[in-house]
């Protein structure tokens, strides 16, 4: 029997899989596995979708990803959401609206032009447009009449992660997955069971026997890998010390006096997109905050981002900051996804990545196929997940010196 979702063959009901973490990645993996007929338990110590996924810019893109194979992986991620949306109430969360990017400095314009050239050569929808066309596409924005370069990426968009994750979790549950949250879902131990199995201990005192555990716990994956006694590191860019670069500031502002922007927009000063409830979601790469930044400094940054948006977006003059949050990108040390069975920890499969929103629909399809059939789904890249295995860090465990990419 072919599963209705994901194209993975059923007949795997006897394997017991536990997925840890109900962010966008874990929820998508659980939905794919359950739809394929696997017996799945999805665990989260919070309500689903309250980790990085909740505050993500959630831009679906492969706009500046290297090397080429990682670009292709992200491009496949964008297409995978387009395939899923019609079957998963996409109207509630899927926004394939396109993306406008403005560059004003000489260096910024040159970089944008070179990027558009490269992406076009790679078959990715991208073109430079003049300010008049940009104003037609997005009347809510003020573009400089001269001296700027504007690029249009019509294949990009964003998702609203909260309604999306709710639907992924509901999809998993409707195919028989058990979903446990709070203390019942908080994993406190991963101990070896018979053979290659794992015993998952929860804060509520339960012990779940699992043939395989898929750990999608975002920035907490290394902590859980350590619980399982893994010999192989899962190195992430530092996120908890002062000055760490993985945290970012998210600011949500409103209300808008007139019709607001409908596209995703990057200017040199601010990145923005519409959010639910008539709000705009704002970020800026130069907002230097971390988990230790004092509240008054966060408020000052939030006000600064609102001022920048007011200069760019019409109708924001009476807007105020509705919410702001420092949130952490789960960022692998070399910038690329870490996906696969963890050497030295039998029964433990890990999946942690930046750009997890872009990648979740596609990665979850690859992961579910690997765990259920042992093969890559038809039509996916021949290398599949091979370049992203955790074992690459057995030979080069050191984190990069450069800050994490912002895209």
Ligand X SMILES: Cc1cc2nc3c(=O)[nH]c(=O)nc-3n(C[C@H](O)[C@H](O)[C@H](O)COP(=O)(O)OP(=O)(O)OC[C@H]3O[C@@H](n4cnc5c(N)ncnc54)[C@H](O)[C@@H]3O)c2cc1C
Q: Which is nearer to ligand X, 57 or 70 (CB)?
A: 57
CB of 9 to ligand X, least distance (A): 25
H/E run at residue 152: strand 149-153
Binding span for ligand X by CB under 6 A among 213-221, 286-294, 297-305, 336-344? 213-221
Please state whether beta strands 247-254 and 264-266 pair in parallel, antiparallel, or not at all (unpaired).
Answer: unpaired
Binding of residue 260 to ligand X (CB under 6 A): no
Identity of the residue, 135 or 288, whose beta carbon is nearer to ligand X in the bound complex = 288
8, 112, 141, 216: which one binds ligand X (CB under 6 A): 216
Peptide bond into 67 cis (omega under 30): yes
Residue of 5, 31, 33, 59 that binds ligand X (CB under 6 A):
59
Task: Give the nearest distance from C-beta 172 to ligand X in angstroms.
Answer: 14
Q: How far apart are CA 371 and CA 38, in angstroms?
A: 10
How many chain residues are in contact with ligand X, going by CB under 6 A? 41
396: left (phi over 0), alpha (psi -120 to 50) or beta: beta
Least separation in angstroms between CB 44 and ligand X: 4
Q: Compute how many other C-beta atoms are within 10 angstroms of the C-beta atom of residue 278.
A: 12
Convert 12-21 to b/e letters by CB count within 10 Å (16 or more is b).
beeebbbbbb
358 binds ligand X (CB under 6 A): yes
Q: Which is nearer to ligand X, 50 or 314 (CB)?
A: 50
Other CB atoms within a 10 A radius of the CB of residue 52 amount to 24
What minimum distance in Å lies between the beta carbon of 250 and ligand X?
5
- The residues in 313-332 that bind ligand X, with binding defined as CB under 6 A, are 327-330
Minimum distance between the CB of residue 171 and ligand X, rounded to whole angstroms?
15
CB of 16 to ligand X, least distance (A): 17
Among 3, 30, 33, 52, which residue sits at the site for ligand X (rule: CB under 6 A)?
52
Measured from the CB atom, the residue of 25 and 84 that comes closer to ligand X is: 25
Binding mask 171-190 for ligand X (x = CB under 6 A): --------------xxx---
Nearer to ligand X, 38 or 353 (CB): 353
Query: From the list 8, 31, 43, 279, which residue makes contact with ligand X (rule: CB under 6 A)?
Result: 43
Q: What does the block give as tokens for 250?
A: 């998210």
**Shortest distance, position 290 Cβ to ligand X, whole Å:** 12
Taking the CB of residue 255, how many other CB atoms lie within 10 A of it?
15
Contacts by residues 13-17 (CB-CB < 8 Å, ≥ 24 positions apart) = 13/37, 13/38, 13/39, 14/39, 15/39, 15/211, 15/212, 15/371, 15/372, 16/41, 16/208, 16/209, 16/210, 16/211, 17/41, 17/210, 17/211, 17/212, 17/213, 17/214, 17/371
| Minimal distance, residue 135 CB to ligand X, in Å | 25
Footprint (CB under 6 A) of ligand X, residues 123-142: none
Q: What is the DSSP letter of 391?
A: T
Q: Is the dihedral of CA 220, 340, 44, 347 positive or negative?
A: negative
Closest to ligand X by CB, 319 vs 357, is 357
Taking CA atoms, 241 is separated from 218, 247, 263, 292, 328, in Å, by: 17, 10, 35, 8, 12
Distance in Å, CB of 38 to ligand X, minimum: 19
Rg (CA), the chain: 21
Q: Indicate whether 56 belongs to the interface with ligand X (CB under 6 A).
A: yes
Q: Does 23 bind ligand X (CB under 6 A)?
A: yes
Nearest to ligand X of 47, 373 (CB atom): 47
Q: Integer distance in angstroms from the first to the last C-alpha of the chain? A: 39
* 44 near ligand X, judged by CB under 6 A: yes
CB 83 to ligand X: min, Å = 17
The reply on whether position 50 binds ligand X by CB under 6 A is yes
What is the Cα–Cα distance from 31 to 40, expressed in whole angstroms?
A: 9
Stretch that binds ligand X, among 46-54, 108-116, 236-244, 294-302 (CB under 6 A): 46-54
Binding site for ligand X (CB under 6 A): 20-26, 43-46, 50-53, 55-59, 185-187, 216-218, 220, 224, 248, 250, 327-330, 352-358
């Amino acid at each position: 029997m072919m599963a209705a979702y994901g194209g993975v063959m059923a007949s795997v009901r006897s394997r017991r899989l536990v997925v840890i973490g109900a962010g966008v990645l874990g929820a998508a993996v659980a939905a794919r596995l359950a739809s394929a007929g696997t017996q799945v338990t999805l665990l989260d110590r919070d309500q689903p979708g309250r980790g990085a996924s909740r505050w993500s810019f959630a831009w679906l893109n492969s706009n500046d990803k290297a090397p080429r194979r990682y670009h292709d992986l992200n491009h496949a991620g964008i297409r995978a959401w387009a395939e899923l949306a019609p079957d998963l109430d996409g109207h509630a969360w899927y926004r394939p609206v396109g993306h406008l990017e403005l560059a004003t400095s000489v260096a910024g314009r040159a970089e944008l032009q070179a990027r558009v050239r490269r992406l076009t050569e790679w078959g990715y929808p991208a073109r430079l447009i003049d300010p008049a066309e940009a104003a037609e596409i997005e009347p809510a924005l003020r573009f400089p009449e001269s001296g700027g370069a504007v690029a249009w990426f019509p294949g990009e968009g964003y998702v609203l992660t909260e309604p999306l994750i709710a639907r992924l979790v509901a999809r998993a549950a409707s195919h028989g997955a058990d979903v446990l949250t709070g203390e019942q879902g908080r994993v406190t131990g991963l101990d070896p069971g018979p053979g290659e199995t794992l015993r998952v201990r929860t804060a509520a005192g339960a012990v779940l026997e699992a043939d395989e555990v898929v750990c999608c716990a975002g920035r907490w994956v290394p902590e859980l890998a350590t619980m399982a006694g893994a010999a192989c590191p899962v190195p992430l860019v530092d996120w908890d010390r002062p000055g760490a670069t993985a945290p970012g500031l998210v600011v949500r502002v409103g209300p808008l006096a007139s019709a607001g922007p409908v596209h995703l927009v990057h200017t040199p000063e601010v990145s923005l997109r519409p959010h639910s409830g008539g709000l705009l979601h704002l970020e800026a790469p130069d907002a230097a905050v971390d988990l230790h930044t004092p509240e008054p400094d966060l408020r000052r940054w939030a006000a600064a981002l609102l001022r920048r948006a007011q200069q760019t977006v019409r109708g924001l003059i009476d807007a105020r900051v509705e919410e702001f949050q420092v949130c952490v990108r789960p960022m692998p040390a070399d910038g690329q996804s870490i996906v696969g069975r963890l050497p030295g920890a039998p029964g433990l499969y890990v999946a942690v990545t930046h750009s997890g929103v872009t990648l979740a629909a596609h990665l979850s399809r690859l992961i579910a196929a690997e765990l259920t059939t042992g093969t890559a789904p038809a039509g996916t890249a021949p290398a599949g997940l091979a370049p992203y295995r955790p074992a690459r860090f057995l030979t080069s465990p050191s984190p990069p010196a450069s800050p994490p990419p912002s895209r």
